[in-house]
Each structure stands twice: as structure tokens, then as C-alpha cells.
Amino acid sequence: EVQLVESGGGLVQPGGSLRLSCAASGFTFSNYWMNWVRQAPGKGLEWVANIRQHGSEKDYVDSVKGRFTIARDNAKNSLYLQMNSLRAEDTAVYYCVRDAGGWFVDWGQGTLVAVSS
Amino acid sequence: EVVLTQSPATLSLSPGERATLSCRASQSVSSHLAWYQQKPGQAPRLLIYDASNRATGIPARFSGSGSGTDFTLTISSLEPEDFAVYYCQQRSNGRTFGQGTKVDIK
């Protein structure tokens, strides 16, 4: 059974930093692209970033470029999202998502990031 | 950026009725479109990929159609568990989602 378990969310002040982690199990992690997708309270889904199997290729939504960094450790079956210069509009539930052919096939339960003073 | 526009925003129907949801892309995405279902407090679930292929375990009452810029998700006969929010997503040029259609009980 595929499991994706996010951690690292919490309350942070504007301008602050946070690092999200995702522990993956139940599949060969190194074989798949991985993504972060977020959802602001009461709003729709927004793709944030993705990373290729061995980390050689990464992409980001324009609103987080230069502030967020996606990374992975295949030896630890883990995905990360380093978030710097956080803004109120980054407040959301952040989901770790397994990608198969560009489709979001498996989702974690999400971790809430709240940016507020 | 490919913008996906879903309509209607809300669809009020009764169990047993047919639901027809629309997703329109700002430029052609070929058949590179998926549909997801999200229930309150849960993560989304993949229903349809490549415009018309049901994901593993998805009931046959869910079907997808379309190509290019116009796509449709049809639920042939609504079950109580189908009342939820539905999102379309494209992978042709980056990754973007539509804003969602809420299917609620009339």
C-alpha cells in the first residue's frame, strides 16, 4: 500500500522559513516524479513544484520561484520542500503527491502551513 | 500558462440524476487532462486520466470525454458518496488545475 506522510507544517511569521518533509513507502520511490500541491483554506488546488526521479530536473509555479526549493533523498525515501520568505498567501495545506505520467495518483493527508504575525 | 475554466461552479442534483461537468482549456492540451474528486477533509482522488481513462478502482458510472480544449466529466447516476468537489488538471504545459465544481444535494 502506498503511503505518503507529510510533516513539518506549522505557524510561521511572514518572511520566515519552514521545511516540509514527506516520508514515502509502499512503492519504489526512486522510480517516480514527486510533487507538492497546496490548497489554501476553502480554495482550490494549486500545483507548487515537482522533481524528477533522481533530482536532475525541477520545476515550480511562478509564485514560489526563488523562494521554495524542492529536493529528495532516494536513500531515505523522502521528499522535501524548503520554503523561505514566506507570505500570507502561502498559507495552505501542502500535499505530497506521487506522479505517474503527469497524473497525481497518490496523495498524502497534507500538512498545514499558516503564515501569520 | 494553461488556464482551465470549470463550469458550473455548483451543480445541485438529486441522487440518481446524471451529472455533467465541463472543463475548458485556454489552449489545446490534446488529451492530457485528468479529473479528481475531493471530499471534505480528504485529499483528492484521481478519477480519470488522459481525458477518458478511469483510474484503478473507479466505478463505471464515471466517464470522461473530450480533447483539445473542451472536456466533460459525466456521472451517469449519482450515488450519495459522489457529492463532492471535482477538479480538472492538465499536464500538457506544466501542471494546472481548474477552480473546481461542487456537486451538492438538491
Of the candidates A50, A62, A103, which has its C-beta nearest B34's C-beta?
A103
Q: Are the beta carbons of A45 and B45 separated by less than 8 Å?
A: no
Give residue A69's pLDDT band: very low, low, confident or very high (50, 70, 90): very high
Q: Are the beta carbons of B43 and A108 separated by less than 8 Å?
A: yes
Residue from B33, B90, B95 whose CB has the most chain A CBs within 10 Å, to mutate: B95
In the DSSP assignment, the letter for residue B55 is: P
Q: Looking at residues A70-96, what average pLDDT do you find?
A: 98
**d(CA B25, nearest CA chain A) in Å:** 16
Distance (Å, rounded) from C-alpha B79 to C-alpha A50?
A: 34
Cα A2 vs. chain centroid, distance in angstroms? 17
Distance (Å, rounded) from C-alpha A39 to C-alpha B43?
A: 10
Burial class (CB in 10 A: 0-12, 13-18, 19+), A112: middle
Q: Could you check whether the bond before residue B8 is cis, i.e. omega within 30 degrees of 0?
A: yes
pLDDT tens digits for range A18-46: 999 999 999 999 999 999 999 999 999 99
Distance (Å, rounded) from C-alpha A19 to C-alpha A7?
A: 9
Residues of B in contact with A101 (CB under 8 A): 49, 91
Task: Walk along chain B (106 residues) and give the pLDDT tens digit of each residue.
Answer: 999 999 999 999 999 999 999 999 999 999 999 999 999 999 999 999 999 999 999 999 999 999 999 999 999 999 999 999 999 999 999 999 999 999 999 9
Q: Are the beta carbons of B99 and A44 separated by less than 8 Å?
A: yes
SS3 content of chain A, % helix, strand, coil (to 5): 10, 55, 35
Check if the beta carbon of residue B3 is closer than 8 Å to that of residue B26: yes
Q: Are the beta carbons of B46 and A110 separated by less than 8 Å?
A: no
Q: Are the beta carbons of B91 and A110 separated by less than 8 Å?
A: no
For residue B92, the chain A residue with the least C-alpha distance is A102
Q: Looking at residues A42-70, what average pLDDT do you find?
A: 97
Q: Which residues contact B76 (CB under 8 A, 6 or more apart)?
A: B18, B61, B63
**d(CA B43, nearest CA chain A) in Å:** 6
Residue A43 CA neighbour count, 13 Å, CB half = 15
Q: What's chain A's Rg over C-alpha atoms?
A: 13
Check if the beta carbon of residue B69 is closer than 8 Å to that of residue B28: yes
Distance (Å, rounded) from C-alpha A49 to C-alpha A2?
A: 20
pLDDT at position B86: 98
3-state class (DSSP) for residue A26: coil
